[in-house]
Amino acid sequence: MESRATTSRTDSPSDSNPLWRLVPLVHRHKWRFWGGMSLINGGRLLEAFMPLFLKIGIDRIAAEDYRLALPALAIPGLMVLRYIAFNRGRRYVREVGIAVAYELRQRLYWHLELQGPRASFMPTPSSACCRKAMTRC
């Protein structure tokens, strides 16, 4: 993994939200991010089918039809599938967040290194931040 991420600058005044500057970084991990989001939504869709099987079971009991194997096994099956999909999706999205945070941290350290040692020992409030960040490397 490269330590110096190359992204285009988006400092135009039309950007109303600074979070738009993260889009190029997340775009590098788009398959993992959108795959994770799809799994999370798929888990929610599986969760939405549970009341349907509950309704089928209740309707069969009310009609004195005691074939309850399908609804009785479908609900725990959907619960297991939902758990797997939702947790895997959250994990993928979290891994993208960790990768983006790592790239941002590497970019910050790279910019601090470009300033050189003289900039980090000047008597300004930002130099204290530079010294703290450089000692953590």
List pLDDT tens digits, range 4-22. 555 555 555 455 788 888 8
Each domain of the chain, given as residue ranges in start order, spans: 27-135
Whether 68 contacts 57, CB under 8 Å: yes
What pLDDT is attached to residue 35? Answer: 95
**pTM of the shown model:** 0.66
**Helix 30-62 crosses helix 69-120 at what angle (to 10 degrees)?**
160
Amino acid, res. 74: A
How confident is residue 109, by pLDDT bands cut at 50, 70 and 90?
confident
